Amino acid sequence: MPHVLFIWNDEIEEYIAQHGVTQEEFEEVVLNSREVRTSHSSGRPIVFGPTSTGKYLACVFEYVDADQVIPVTAYEVD
């Protein structure tokens, strides 16, 4: 994914943290993703990928426009 502006707020950051994921890890996975898929459960965009901390994450977000996304959730997958 090219340059992206992430729109964070305290609620989103806290929700993702409950899943053991940091803001930095989320952004790393989204920015380094090669393929954006559609989540089967929510219909939102989802990407998968490794972090520099050794996790493999699923990151769900919503597009505001071509350059801005709102994080929705993230979680570690096998």
Task: Give the dihedral of Cα atoms 15, 56, 52, 65; nearest 10 deg.
Answer: -60
Go through 38-71 and write b for each residue having 16 or more CB atoms within 10 A of its CB, e for each that does not.
Answer: eeeeeeebbbebebeeebebbbbbeeeeeeebeb
> Is pTM, for the whole model, over 0.75?
yes
Question: What's the pLDDT tens digit per position in 61-70?
Answer: 999 998 999 9
Question: What's the pLDDT tens digit per position in 45-58?
Answer: 999 999 999 999 99
Q: Which residue ranges make up each domain of the chain?
A: 5-76
Q: Please give the CATH topology (third level) of the domain spanning 5-76.
A: Nuclear Transport Factor 2; Chain: A, (3.10.450)
Task: Enumerate the H helices of the chain as residue ranges.
Answer: 10-18, 23-32
